[in-house]
Amino acid sequence: MQTHYVLPLVDISKLQSSALSDRLEVAAALDKACKEVGFLYLKGEQFNFEYVQDLIQVTKAYFEQDLALKMQRYIGLSKNHSGYVPIGEEQFSGQSYDLKEAFDVNYDYQGAKSDCPLLGPTLWPDDAQFKRTVSQYYQHLRGISQQIFQCFALALGVNEDFFDAKITDAPSQLRLIHYPYNPEVKDAEGIGAHTDYECFTLLLPTAPGLQVLNKQGEWIDIPLIENTLVMNIGDMMEILSNGKYLATKHRVKKVCEERYSFPLFCACNYDTVIEPIVETDAPRYSAVIGGEHLFNQTAQTFQYLRQRIASGELILKNAVPLSSFGLGEILEETA
């Protein structure tokens, strides 16, 4: 019999409180969960799960369209890495590819800055309801992520507003992911093993399939809990915390049902210098430029960007190999 492991559950409702003591209480719980595991469930009065139902409905309708129609907004046609991602576009390791399709929504940047390949207007489908519903969820979760950034600042012992000016135009990406059920496919993964590149991820899955790697090298199933999001630490928060929090490796296994997943990858502004901010220890990580690291990692997994690298059209600066972060902390077994 396979054992299920339950992640820590943190209630972030008190982040809305005007009392610093309440916000510090949440920060202490978040700190403990991130330090011990790196994956956790979040619940809170902030979350509007009616938005979720609307999001699932428009996402299903979008992916039911013909491939040719979806490919009109192929991600390789965009200026800011947004749009439709067909099955086989992403590769995390070797020549294997992920058994999923996706629609990627980046921060719909309308400003003048043009030298950042992840900033720009999103390549939306010609569907006003889709754009309205997806944007509503994006902005809702982005607002909550700002509270979580402030919570991390408290947990890491810096000023509560430390991240405020660093997330004004962040290329935080929302992915609408569809895992079609294909009983003919054997020994394949929905998403291969990886760490996330950003500071943290807020994930809403509609079915089981998520697995986390523990310190013994075992893949552990993560069950769903109604009206919660799953949160995990990414590469940049590992750096910022100077290794206090680790980016835990995870994957999605092939499951016996159709599955949708909605991760929001919460990043800092493109030109933010990501370096350890915990002053009690000597720095264990070199500084990286946030947007540069994010684009470098993305370019190593997407076929259209890998082709540009191979042709010499695109040259990456200061790129590190995929899976350079995260050692896989142990998850404590629960009864």
98 pLDDT above the threshold of 80: no
236 pLDDT above the threshold of 70: yes
| Dist CA 180 CA 77 (whole Å) | 24
12 pLDDT above the threshold of 90: yes
Q: Which two tokens stand for residue 267?
A: 């990043």
Q: Which two tokens stand for residue 30?
A: 């978040």
CB 268 within 8 A of CB 290: yes
330 pLDDT above the threshold of 50: no
Question: Does 219 or 182 have the greater pLDDT score?
Answer: 219
What is the overall mean pLDDT for the chain? 86
**Start-to-end CA span in the chain (Å):** 14
The confidence score (pLDDT) of residue 190 equals 47
The confidence score (pLDDT) of residue 301 equals 87
The confidence score (pLDDT) of residue 316 equals 85
CB 97 within 8 A of CB 87: yes
| Dist CA 326 CA 43 (whole Å) | 25
pLDDT bucket at 222, cuts 50 / 70 / 90: confident
| Dist CA 49 CA 126 (whole Å) | 26
Give every CB contact of residue 126 below 8 A, 6+ residues apart in sequence. Answer: none
The confidence score (pLDDT) of residue 61 equals 97
Question: Does 251 or 3 have the greater pLDDT score?
Answer: 251
Q: Which two tokens stand for residue 58?
A: 């428009």
169 pLDDT above the threshold of 50: yes
pLDDT bucket at 328, cuts 50 / 70 / 90: very low
The confidence score (pLDDT) of residue 304 equals 93
Percent with pLDDT over 70 in the chain: 87
CB 23 within 8 A of CB 154: yes
* Least confident residue range of 94-98, 162-166, 220-224, 328-332: 328-332
Give residue-wise pLDDT tens across range 118-149: 888 999 999 999 999 999 999 999 999 999 99
Question: Token match 């997994």: residue?
Answer: 301
318 pLDDT above the threshold of 70: yes
| Dist CA 252 CA 300 (whole Å) | 19
* Least confident residue range of 20-29, 54-63, 253-262: 253-262
9-311 carries CATH number 3.90.226.10: no
The confidence score (pLDDT) of residue 63 equals 97
C-alpha closest to that of 234 among 321, 293, 161: 293
Question: Does 29 or 326 have the greater pLDDT score?
Answer: 29
pLDDT bucket at 201, cuts 50 / 70 / 90: very high
Give whole-number Cα distances, 240 to 131, 144, 271, in Å.
33, 20, 15
pLDDT bucket at 185, cuts 50 / 70 / 90: low
Domain boundaries defined on the chain: 9-311
| Dist CA 84 CA 123 (whole Å) | 9
Number of Cβ within 10 Å of residue 64's Cβ equals 9
C-alpha closest to that of 248 among 282, 283, 300, 211: 211
- 3-state SS assignment for residue 26: helix
Give every CB contact of residue 16 below 8 A, 6+ residues apart in sequence. Answer: 45, 46, 147
The confidence score (pLDDT) of residue 1 equals 34
The confidence score (pLDDT) of residue 112 equals 79
Q: Give, as one character, the DSSP assignment of residue 101.
A: E
The confidence score (pLDDT) of residue 209 equals 80
34 pLDDT above the threshold of 60: yes
Mean pLDDT confidence for 162-186? 87
Q: Read off the amino acid at residue 177.
A: I
Q: Read off the amino acid at residue 145.
A: S
pTM of the predicted model as reported, rounded to 2 decimal places:
0.90
CB 99 within 8 A of CB 183: no
